[in-house]
Structure 1
Amino acid sequence: MKKVVFLTFCACVAALLLSGCTKGIDNLFSSDGVEIYLLKAYKTVENSQKIDEKSVVLKSTPVVRYADILSYNSDEHTYKVSDRALDAIKNIDHSVSGVAFAVTANGRVVYTGYFWPMFSSASCNWVTIDPIIAEYAKELKVTLGYPGDWEGVEDRRNDERIISILSRDKKLIK
């Protein structure tokens, strides 16, 4: 009798331990690698579009998962991404004043920016990705402002955390 109780107890403990070890498919790549999240909440720094990173709250799932990043060209600052990622970006409700995002490395925010569509007549003095061009070019080009690069925008596109991860996984082109 003691043996049956002991075996039942062991089976229950094993079942509990094993059930806590699995990740859902949606979380398989979350917080691992380089990912792009939309922002749920954020504040900007006085009279600019610069996002105060201390105020950033990420949405629960990335819009571009690490598995969606096929390669990164560090000279051109372009990410080749999967069709799934392009569709996800296309389906964002784009605004002429941008949709805020954060690029993360292993779950930590490295830099922030905006999906800023080319049909916007407003300028942006912070990091941008044009979602319209992305759809046609099949890549995400990260720029330091819109239109064109702005002086004074901190450039963390080639942050060592991003480059290290992409290099490790042979996704870095240059």
Structure 2
Amino acid sequence: MSNIKGVEIYLFQSECWNENSYNEYKTETEQKTFSDKYEQTENIPIEKCAYYIDLENCKTKNEPLLNNNDIERFDWKSSKIHLSKSGIEKLKNQEIPLRGLPFVIKLNGNNIYGGWFWNMFSSFGCDRIFSYPDKNVKGNELDLEFGLGGFKCGKDPRQNMELIEKALRK
């Protein structure tokens, strides 16, 4: 699982903000009720996470941001994407808003999981998968991390073997 080829990264046609997230609770009572219900952050249903991306309903752009020529391989176990020079250049040239830029990793045309490219000047935290393209590209490796700012929401999908095995079978 450390030399997966055929991975592509797509951006979305729209921002795909989660309108059902805990961030949308307006009153202190709503926030307290939510906090009391979920003592551990990994128990929060992912559809309540602020940076959850509904991969079934959010439409991707027609062309990938990073294609087979830009991604040399994907190391599932270490959550690293090994980029070619063209992939590194594309990421460096991609504008990333302060609230992040959502993406989905696809294999054989199938969604594996979503994440966020993060702006290194942002003061926002990200409770799901994220990467700082300016900071996380070491050599030619793009690190994917989970839970920026110490807050994680839901289970980390990066180690969910069912997701990758399903995409490999198709």
**Normalising by the residue count of structure 1, what TM-score does the alignment of the two structures yield?**
0.66
Corresponding residue number in structure 1 for 2:105: 103
Pick one of 79, 82, 88 that aligns with 2:81.
79
Runs of 4+ in 1 over 6 A off after TM superposition: none
In the alignment, the residues of structure 2 paired with residue 141 and residue 163 of structure 1 have an alpha-carbon distance, to the nearest angstrom, of: 21
Task: Give aligned-pair identity as a percent.
Answer: 27
Ranges in structure 2 where 5+ consecutive residues have no aligned partner: 24-49
Corresponding residue number in structure 2 for 1:54: 56
Corresponding residue number in structure 1 for 2:10: 37
In the alignment, the residues of structure 2 paired with residue 126 and residue 107 of structure 1 have an alpha-carbon distance, to the nearest angstrom, of: 22
The amino acid of 1:53's aligned partner reads L
The amino acid of 1:108's aligned partner reads N
136-145 or 110-119, which deviates more: 136-145
Aligned length: 134
In the alignment, the residues of structure 1 paired with residue 70 and residue 155 of structure 2 have an alpha-carbon distance, to the nearest angstrom, of: 27
Corresponding residue number in structure 2 for 1:160: 164
Change over 3 Å in CA distance of 1:162–1:114 after alignment to 2: farther
The amino acid of 1:160's aligned partner reads I
Corresponding residue number in structure 1 for 2:95: 93
The amino acid of 1:66's aligned partner reads N
What are the superposed Cα offsets for residues 120-163 of structure 1, whole Å, 9 maximum, x if unpaired? 21101111111112445422111112135725243146532488
The amino acid of 1:99's aligned partner reads L
Structure with the higher fraction of residues in strand conformation? 1
Please say if residues 115 and 130 of structure 2, whose CA atoms lie closer than 8 Å, have aligned partners that are also in contact.
Answer: yes
What are the superposed Cα offsets for residues 58-77 of structure 1, whole Å, 9 maximum, x if unpaired? 11111111232223333321
Instruction: Tell me how large the CA RMSD over aligned residues is.
Output: 2.5
